[in-house]
Amino acid sequence: MAAVDLTTHPGHLARRLQQAHYLLWNAMVSEEITSPQFAVLNALVDQPGLDQRTVGERVGLDRSTIAEVITRLSRRGLLDKVRDPQDGRRALLRPTDEGLRTHRKLAVRTARMNQVFLAPLSAEEQSLFFALIQRVSDAAEGLRHPAEPVPAPR
């Protein structure tokens, strides 16, 4: 059997994109706060008082990953957990003052990093890239909890 052309495999290309993003993130944004941690902080800056499950859904993290990210952000003093007055079993999350300062600083750095990351594309190509990758990401989310089983290829 001949070797497969991996440039036609979206998973391979997605992994390469992720590696490039990871390298740029560490070099230009933060070695301490990860991209998923920033996504959680960003969601809570946008809408303070969300519960853990909702934040996880908004940023595309599974239950165990979101729990770990929230624990790490709490330990760093970047977010607070408060009991939901309507449901004592549920914790509501809010960025601390330090969390807000950290978010502002990282948001500026993230914007610069994105410019570098997307520099090979024209403005029109960037818009198309985002539209296409969003469509694929949204479809992939549906595979997590499909309404009907996905048939195996023949």
Write the pLDDT tens digit of every residue in 6-60: 999 999 999 999 999 999 999 999 999 999 999 999 999 999 999 999 999 999 9
Q: Write the DSSP string, 5-39.
A: -GGG-HHHHHHHHHHHHHHHIIIII-SSS-HHHHH
pTM for this model (two decimals): 0.86
Task: Determine the pLDDT at residue 87.
Answer: 85
The reply to whether CATH 1.10.10.10 applies to domain 25-142 is yes
CA dist 154 → 1, 96, 146, 151 (Å):
19, 53, 19, 9
* CA 41 to chain CA centroid, nearest Å: 10
Confidence label for 143 from pLDDT (cuts 50, 70 and 90): confident
Which single residue is written with the structure tokens 């560490």? 26
Instruction: Give me the residue spans of the domains in the chain.
Output: 25-142
pLDDT in tens, 68-114: 999 999 999 999 999 888 888 888 999 999 999 999 999 999 999 99
